[in-house]
Structure 1
Amino acid sequence: METLTFHFDRGTRPSSGQPQLVGVVSSGNLEVLIEPASLNGGCDIEVRTAAHGFGAIWQAVISDFHDRWQLADTRIAINDMGATPAVVSLRLDQAVETLLGGPPASAPTGGQP
């Protein structure tokens, strides 16, 4: 297993609510645990993955996620068994939407103008 850690400062969207777990660790999938934490406005993400050597891809996926959500005072733990970047993004968004109760402010709503 490889462990990668990421930290982001100055998030603008504090998390609230109870810790949430989404996804299932199995062949080719992952689980995400997200929870509020006192981190002085920061967001900590720890990835435990069975796929070694993909740090640059994880950095890109996690940075994109943080750019979308701008989470503050949030801790995220990811247990990965080889999920694709698209599945990682989907699970991360699903976890935050479950915790916060909706999509990011910049996300399209799907409604008609």
Structure 2
Amino acid sequence: MERIELHYPATEQRAQKALAGVVGSGDLEAMFIPHQEKTLTVIIKTSVDGSKIRWENIFKRFALLHALPMGQLEINDFAATPGVAKLRIEQVFEEANHAK
């Protein structure tokens, strides 16, 4: 297991906490907790050792296409593909924007 922590400037506010995905299915679980600081802190726990560069590239590309929300994103990864990772990140941010 590897633990990766990344920090990015963020500008978007989200309404609520949110959860997307299921880690036990060989997938990825993403949990988002909003806050008021202008940063997005990403904490990744992954079964794939040596994957920091892959995760940095996922978020670099994501940030080119989307404004990042202010908060903490916790990811529990069980060898999800980059496409699944992007999908779950999009889902959790969307859910946090519309949760009541």
Relative to the length of structure 1, the TM-score reads 0.79
**Which protein is richer in helix relative to its size?**
2
Quote how far apart the aligned CAs of 1:27 are.
Answer: 4.1
| Structure having the higher Rg | 1
The correspondence for 2:34, drawn from 30, 33, 36, is: 36
Letter in 1 for 2:34: P
TM-score normalised according to structure 2 size: 0.88
Matched residue pairs, number? 98
Note closer, same or farther for the CA distance 1:72–1:21 as it changes in structure 2 (3 Å cut).
Answer: closer
- Measured in 2, the distance between the counterparts of 1:67 and 1:75 equals 19
Structure 1 residue 86 corresponds to structure 2 residue 78:
no
Preserved CA contact (<8 Å) 2:11 2:39 = no
Q: Which has the higher contact order (CA 8 A, sep 6+)?
A: 2
Shift of 1:42: 0.8
Residue 81 of structure 1 deviates from its aligned partner by 0.6
Q: Give the 4+ runs in structure 1 shifted more than 3 A.
A: none
Alignment partner of 1:25 is 2:26: no
- Contact 2:20–2:91 under 8 Å retained in 1: yes
SS of match in other structure, 1:66: helix
SS in 2 for 1:14: coil
Shift of 1:5: 0.8
Q: Is the 8 A contact 1:27 1:82 kept in 2?
A: no
CA distance, structure 2, for counterparts of residue 72 and residue 29 of structure 1: 23
Unaligned 5+ segments in structure 1 are 102-113
Once residues 19 and 8 of structure 2 are traced to their aligned partners in structure 1, the CA distance between those partners, rounded to angstroms, is 21
Q: Residues 22 and 72 (structure 1 numbering): CA distance in 2 closer, same or farther, change over 3 Å?
A: closer
Aligned to 1:77, which of 69, 74, 78? 74
Letter in 2 for 1:68: L
What's the counterpart of residue 42 of structure 2? 45
Aligned-partner SS, 2:84: helix
Quote the Cα distance in structure 2 between the aligned partners of 1:97 and 1:62.
16
Provide structure 2 residue ranges, at least 5 long, that are not aligned to the other structure. Answer: none
